[in-house]
Structure formats: structure tokens, C-alpha cells
Amino acid sequence: MRRILQASGAEVIHLGHNRSVREIVDTAIEEDAQGIAVSSYQGGHTEFFKYMIDMLRESGRPPYPGLWRRWRRHRLRRDSRAA
């Protein structure tokens, strides 16, 4: 994903693997990022994204719209299957 974004002219700040939510949020705020992209292979992403959204809110920065929509859509889909 990083290379595709860079090839299209976007500036990408690649933090590497195994970064905490705090590191990601602090970097996004420091760099005045317009978006955050995270990949997860191990599951647990729902809790990770919720924590990230909460931390962005606590910092006074609203969550990125795309991140919030995807997380909500995933939760709604998951909850409807469980019912």
C-alpha cells in the first residue's frame, strides 16, 4: 500500500511493524497527517482501531472520517451476524 500511495504522489511516513496506538497517534498529530493506514494480520484490529479513535478524540483531534466509517461498518456487520 505504501508504494502505491507514494507512486501516486502522496507523502508517506512509514513507521514499520509493531507500533503502539500511542506511537501512531503521536506521529499523526506531529506530522499533521491527513490519514492513517494500518494493516493487521493477527486479529484484534477492532479493539486497536477503537482505541486509536478514542485516543485521537482525547487529543482534541477528530478521528479521520474513513477510519471511523470502516470501523463502524465492520462493527455493524459483526454485530448483525451475532444476533
Q: How far apart are CA 6 and CA 82, in angstroms?
A: 39
For residue 47, how many other CB atoms are within 10 A of its CB? 10
Domain ranges of the chain: 2-82
Binned at pLDDT 50, 70 and 90, residue 66 comes out as low
Radius of gyration, CA atoms only, the chain: 14
pTM above 0.75? no
Of 3-7, 66-70, 75-79, which gets the smallest average pLDDT? 66-70
Which pLDDT belongs to residue 21?
93
> The C-alpha cell of 18 is what?
509493531
Residue 42: pLDDT over 90: no
Query: Across all residues in the chain, what is the average pLDDT?
Result: 81
CATH (residue range 2-82):
3.40.50.280
Distances (CA, A) of 50 to 4, 12, 67: 26, 23, 10
